[in-house]
Amino acid sequence: MAQLILLPGKERSSLKLRHPWLFAGAVGRLQGRARAGDTVEVLADNLRPLGRAAYSPRSQIRARFWTFDIAESVDDAFFKRRIAAAVARRHSLPELRGQQGLRLIHAESDGLPGVIADQYGDCVVVQLTSAGADKWRGAIVSGLVKATGCRRIHERSDSDVRRLEGLAPVTGWLHGAAPDSPLTIEENGIRLTVDIAGGHKTGFYLDQRDNRALLGRLAAGREVLNCFCYTGGFSLQALAGGAASVLSVDSSGPALAQAQASLALNPQLPGERAEWLEADVFLALRDFRKQGRLFDLIVLDPPKFAPSAAHAERAARAYKDINVLGFRLLRPGGLLMTYSCSGGIGPELFQKIVAGAALDADRDARIVRRLAGSADHPVALNFPEGEYLKGLLVQVE
């Protein structure tokens, strides 16, 4: 096994806190030969062993720790143990038992850097975003089959972050065959279609499950505007909760078509109260402002504006603009449910952005609730970067 030897003093900060990322600037030299994805032993400059990690020579994150236990081997059995433990943690939480859509593995927060696995019924979708995860694809698939008994596994390793690792996109079936009919799940009493081959991420935004349920509880009698609605998860929950009307806006025609297909699967919902608009959300909200339209409850769940901290300044402007527009379209007493899924925007910065937007919109507002991802998206205490989804429920005067 090759050895990655750190520069003097570099083990004293993040590694003492067991942070799983080792950046290139901390590395002194590589002793031996290692290719992308190979397991290397990480040593302090005095050659004291620190753990074992996946080597990634093309990335600024030069290594991702598999284990800080220097006696633990990284082999097929290692992945079976880690995967089984991650699945067991979900099953130990009553609120997650029986969920047809469930995140089984949440990368670093489950001790498996670069590994995402989401379950939709009898199908698991995996996304491998790091060189180390890519290297152990076979062991990961075997571990998932053993831990879940799933009939099929589909790979969606096509995210942009793979380019930073020097990896090409990979998609396709790894276990079993494609289902004969469109994939559907039930969430909080609502049936939803999931496009695992062409949809965002692994096909659906499972992290918003609890927040969609919250919206349903808030929607009764309200005129709801759902912005960046994608396939309508929030919209359908609002209808189920008794919303007076739900206007859903997204720039993607196919996503809106999928949302309407999901609505058709739920004949108990008042579909006549739903309106779907294909448009640029920023432009649509400005048009609503000119038209004098107002709403009682607005959802702002935009795409990732800041994939990293380097994009934070530009993203902050976009988040502020969209929240200013949202505040201006709320009736007195109205609620704004606003989110950021950008890792480069932390919770404190996001609150400052929303506060600035309220000032620019000349609205007095209060935080009613802080919002985050559902319980199957845990955040390891040694990896705060895992808290990518943050949200605020704000009420205006």
> Where in the sequence numbering do the catalytic residues fall?
341
Asked if residue 197 lies in contact with residue 258, where contact means CB atoms within 8 angstroms, the answer is no
Dihedral sign, Cα of residue 268, residue 120, residue 393, residue 321 = negative
Residue with tokens 């009764």: 220
DSSP 206: G
Query: What six digits make up the tokens of 334?
Result: 């109205």
How far apart (Å, rounded) are the C-alpha atoms in residues 215 and 64?
Answer: 37
CA distance 89 to 191: 26
What span, in angstroms and rounded, lies between the C-alpha atoms of 136 and 75? 9
Please report the DSSP string for 281-321 in residue order. Answer: HHHHHHHHHHHT--EEEEEE----S-SSGGGHHHHHHHHHH
The pair of three-digit structure tokens given for residue 253, joined into one six-digit string? 């025609």
CA nearest 248: which of 187, 256, 240?
Answer: 256
- Encoded amino acid at 343, one letter: G
Rounded to whole angstroms, the Cα distance separating 202 from 188 reads 20
Strand 274-278 relative to strand 245-250, pairing: parallel
Question: For residues 396 and 386, what is the distance between their CA atoms, to the nearest angstrom?
Answer: 30
SS3 151: coil
Whether the CB-CB separation of 74 and 34 falls below 8 Å is answered with no
User: Alpha-carbon distance 264 to 37, whole Å?
Assistant: 45
Residue appearing with tokens 């449910």 = 337
